Amino acid sequence: MLFSAAAFGTSGALAKGLLASGWTPAAAVTWRVAIGAAVLAVPALLSMRGRWHTLRTGWPTVLLFGVIAVAGCQLAYFLAVERLSVAVALLLEFSGVLLVVLWLWARRGQRPRPLTVAGSIIAVIGLVLILDVFGVVRLDPVGVFWGLVAAAGLASYFILAADESHGLPPLFVAGGGLAVGTVVLLVAGGAGLVGFSWNTADVLLAGWSVP
């Protein structure tokens, strides 16, 4: 869990350096997702031993996970990072947790406990203060929009990942979703739907020039 949190939290900072050196958000996301898919390919396939029959009913989950939770969420977040600070973009994305609470309440009737409601209210107040809604500072509205889209994608990530009704191993859902996300991003880049350019120039990260 700590490693996962570190991976989530540092991705924006690493991406910011790539974007500043001429990478487009789509290129940065595609490389990140593709490397993840390659790393998980063999373990994901091995986890399906004796369970391939579950793919007959579980493939829509893998497809949605790849398109929305992986490609859509990550691309929206990196588009937000392009226009906002990493901290603000990350806060906007993680407001998706509030959407999960609302979804479980509206869809499954799981009414949140008082402590959850209090935490959600504090989170919303925190976002309002960070975004300085009533102040003189005005953030890039396009960046805020993409941050909120990323929040919806993150909510989908949690909801789809928690669904075990299909019987697919979690490792396969993750690996399959990354593979689907890679294909979607490559097709979108090849069709010119998103800008796709990258280079091998050195990147400035925390004041250091790194390859």
Residue 98 structure tokens? 């509030």
**Is residue 100 pLDDT above 70, yes or no?**
yes
Residue 146, in any domain of the structure: yes
Count of residues in the chain: 211
Tally the domains of the chain: 1
Residue 171, in any domain of the structure: yes
Residue 5, in any domain of the structure: no
Residue 205, in any domain of the structure: no
Apex 25 CA angle, 22 and 28, nearest 5: 80
**Is residue 209 pLDDT above 70, yes or no?**
yes
Residue 115, in any domain of the structure: yes
Residue 201, in any domain of the structure: no
**Is residue 134 pLDDT above 90, yes or no?**
no
pLDDT of residue 40: 95
Residue 74, in any domain of the structure: yes
Compute CA distances 152 → 72, 99, 100, 133, whole Å. 9, 7, 9, 20
**Average pLDDT value over all residues in the chain:** 88
pLDDT of residue 136: 61
Model confidence, pTM: 0.79
Show the domain range for 62: 24-45+58-195
Residue 39, in any domain of the structure: yes
